[in-house]
Amino acid sequence: MFIAMNRFRVNPERVEEFEKLWLERETHLQGLPGFVEFHMLRGPSEEDHVLYASHTIWRSREDFDAWTHSEAFRAAHANAGQSRREGLYLGPPKFEGFEVIQTISEQDHA
């Protein structure tokens, strides 16, 4: 399993705009080989930003890599550089990719 995360530092005055963009966008993820689940996470608020992270779970790193080279990826990110978003973020998103080495679930106790 592979987890792909992007961290976003969002201008506190534009949190509603950021959340609206994410909640209303077309993800182009459903039905992709290896896609398991997506979460948008809201983290702590600092004086100059609110931290968010997109969290996508893939069956494998290879499935994630295939998505990043797909038409679905280009469609999902087509508006990423829109000028109206200037000042929305404090810098570019920071990507972090993780290979899962252990999973513990509620079903493990059953």
Please, which residues have CB within 8 angstroms of residue 47's CB and are 6 or more apart in sequence?
Answer: none
Q: Span 55-71, mean pLDDT?
A: 93
The pLDDT score that the predictor gives to residue 108 is 74
Establish if 104 belongs to a structural domain: no
Structural domains of the chain, count = 1
Phi-psi region at 28: left, alpha or beta (left = phi > 0; alpha = psi -120 to 50)? left
CB 90 within 8 A of CB 8: no
Establish if 109 belongs to a structural domain: no
Prediction pTM value: 0.83
Domain membership of residue 68 as a residue range: 2-99
Establish if 106 belongs to a structural domain: no
* Band (77; pLDDT cuts 50, 70, 90): low
- Which amino acid is residue 85, in one-letter code? R
- Within its chain, how far is the Cα of 18 from the centroid? 13
Query: pLDDT at residue 85 above 90?
Result: no
Establish if 7 belongs to a structural domain: yes
